[in-house]
């Protein structure tokens, strides 16, 4: 269940990033943002998967939480900061807090 939540969140962020970049710039930028999200997800899951496999004892496996779930949770934490700063934060605010 946790796995599905993380997968669906990544899909929703990819759709949001595509739409935002497509409307603000061009369709090419939309596809580039989806490619960036997919690349970060694939590389990050490979890195956190090997880390989670090394620290997760086999006897703790259950139907709800396995080492794959742990690796996705470990990946989701830095992804939240990345998604916020690159896709959700408004970079056009100046020091006074007003738009340029």
Q: How far apart are the first and last CA of the chain?
A: 43
Who contacts 93 (Cβ-Cβ below 8 Å, separation ≥6)? 99, 100
Q: Is the pTM of this model over 0.85?
A: no
Is residue 33 in some structural domain? yes
Residue 3's CB is within 10 A of a number of other CB atoms, namely: 15
The pLDDT value recorded for residue 16 is: 94
Is residue 100 in some structural domain? no
Is residue 95 in some structural domain? no
Is residue 97 in some structural domain? no
Compute the half-sphere exposure of residue 52: CA atoms within 13 Å on the CB side of its CA. 19
Determine the structural domain holding residue 80 and report its residue range: 2-87
Residue 42's CB is within 10 A of a number of other CB atoms, namely: 10
Instruction: State how many domains the chain has.
Output: 1
Q: Confirm if 52 and 66 have CB atoms less than 8 A apart.
A: no
Is residue 92 in some structural domain? no
10-residue mean pLDDT series, the chain (100 residues): 93 95 92 95 95 90 89 95 86 60
Is residue 60 in some structural domain? yes
């Amino acid at each position: 269940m946790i796995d599905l939540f993380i997968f669906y969140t990544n899909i929703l962020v990819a759709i949001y990033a595509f739409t935002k970049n497509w409307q603000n710039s061009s369709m090419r930028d939309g596809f580039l943002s989806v490619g960036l999200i997919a690349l970060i997800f694939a590389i990050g899951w490979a890195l956190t998967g090997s880390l989670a496999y090394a620290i997760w004892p086999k006897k703790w496996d259950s139907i709800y939480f396995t080492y794959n779930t742990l690796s996705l949770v470990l990946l989701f934490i830095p992804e939240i900061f990345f998604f916020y700063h690159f896709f959700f934060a408004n970079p056009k605010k100046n020091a006074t807090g007003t738009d340029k």
